Chains A and B, each alone.
Chain A
Amino acid sequence: MNRIIVEQEEVFLQDESVFFTEIPNSLVLHVKGNVCLALTSIHHMEVYLEKGSHFLLEAFVFMKNQTSKIVFHNEDDVVLDFHLSCLYEGENTLEVNSLVDKERVRNYIRVRSVERFGSLLIKATGEILENTRDAFYLEDIQSLTTHQERVKIIPNLLVSSNEAICNHNATITHVREEELFYLRGLGIEEEKATQLIKDGFLKSILQIEEIKK
């Protein structure tokens, strides 16, 4: 996989696997054919998936007092497989939007977030418009936090088509007291025990995704 520092604000990708180590604050991406992209940061991205494309987007990002937005535009016969694993500090907002008004579109959008210290607002919106035919849309958002009130997930499914299967799952998980008790019972400080559990949550998600691939 090629490792690239992206400097321009518009990038065309066709039948390739790339790893963007750095991207500009605003990026427009055009995807054609089979493309696999890995990212370590997201600020504002518009992604255009051309007809027949299959796009695997894997992002592992650290957010700190950040607002990020990613918008997917789908053409006919598109498969989008998007995994975002996010660790955050401070106040953050993450928006993921997907617009579908074509035929035979498959969107799988999975977001996993783990709090270090701070808050996160996740807005995930799938707009399945009237012209859509034979589409599948999945939005699966999971968040682990020590303070439930610091995480807010707003999942939106705006479905105007009768020919689409749409699913969404939003879960906010608290660090379990039993796990903390178990780790502290081995002599580990509460703060370190909490960190172990949170890091473990993220690692286990990554392991599962790896096995799936």
Chain B
Amino acid sequence: MLKIENVTVKSEDKVILENFHLEIQPGEIHALMGQNGAGKSTIAKVLLRDSHYDVQGMISFHNKDLLAMNTTDVAREGMFLVMQNPIEIAGVSNAELLRTALNDRGKNTGNILEFHRELTEYCKRLELPTSFVHRDVNFNMSGGEKKKNELLHLWMLKPNFLILDEIDSGLDVDSLKLVARSLVEYYEAYHPSILVITHQKTLLDILKPQFVHVLKDKHIIKSGDFSLAEQIFQDGFGASTMRNGETNE
């Protein structure tokens, strides 16, 4: 589904990622971990074709050359990024945004009542007031409301590849549980691939990624199963950042 091979990413001539490899198959959940500034959010934005980055190498998504696509094309192929700090857009309501996005994806929203019913239903599931349908996108919302609002978009657009860039940052315990539960429900309903970027144990404990990768020195230095994440939470990145095959001796 997603294949990243030997990718180098530069921004203003500064190399952020180098020799970066990652492969994600349909329905797999991968966690990308690493210290602050390691470049985790960069890979998320590169995949969504943020034009600020100069990218060399090969990335294929659904067997198509992702580097030949623009941001709109990638999103229409099913990729969806939940940003660490979702953007506020004054004057554009959730309903207006989602109707435009769905129409642009060729999904007919002609039946306004059905569209509204579905949207209010997801609001309730996310414990958001139904007035959120007409609220401006992320505008004047708390950190928790913004993340839930992003999930509202997720449920409506039904992407097949999720990138969760620290979706758990700034959430209180109850909101985090609700967000995690909603993600699990989405996974069970649609089996998307997920790339989750996080520093928190709680989210990973609930999502249970099958693959965990450690990003350091501009590329993935170690990969493993969920036990690697547990090791990182227990011992920190120091002990866990020995490359595959390395030992303490």
What residues make up the interface of A, taking CB atoms closer than 8 Å to B? 178-179, 181-190, 192, 196-197, 199-205, 207
| Residue numbers in B under 8 Å from A183 (CB-CB) | 89, 97, 101
Given contacts A187-B104, A200-B136, A204-B136, 16 further A-B contacts (CB under 8 A): A179-B87, A179-B89, A181-B87, A183-B97, A183-B101, A185-B74, A186-B75, A186-B101, A187-B75, A187-B101, A188-B100, A190-B72, A192-B100, A196-B97, A200-B92, A205-B91
Number of A-B residue pairs at CB separation under 8 A? 74
What residues make up the interface of B, taking CB atoms closer than 8 Å to A? 48, 50, 70-72, 74-76, 80-81, 83, 86-87, 89-92, 96-97, 100-101, 104-105, 136, 139, 153, 157
A-B contact pairs, 22 of them (CB 8 A): A178-B87, A182-B86, A182-B87, A182-B89, A183-B101, A184-B71, A185-B48, A186-B80, A186-B101, A186-B153, A187-B157, A188-B75, A190-B72, A196-B89, A196-B92, A197-B89, A197-B92, A200-B89, A200-B91, A200-B136, A205-B91, A207-B91
Contacting pair B83 A196 (CB below 8 A): no
Contacting pair B48 A192 (CB below 8 A): no
Q: Which residue of B lies closest to A195 (CB)?
A: B100
A116 to chain B, nearest CB (A): 15
Q: In whole angstroms, how far apart are the Cα atoms of A149 and B105 in the complex?
A: 33
Q: Which of B48, B70, B81, B90 contacts A201 (CB 8 A)?
A: B90
Q: In whole angstroms, how far apart are the Cα atoms of A202 and B89 in the complex?
A: 12
Contacting pair B91 A188 (CB below 8 A): no
Contacting pair A188 B89 (CB below 8 A): no
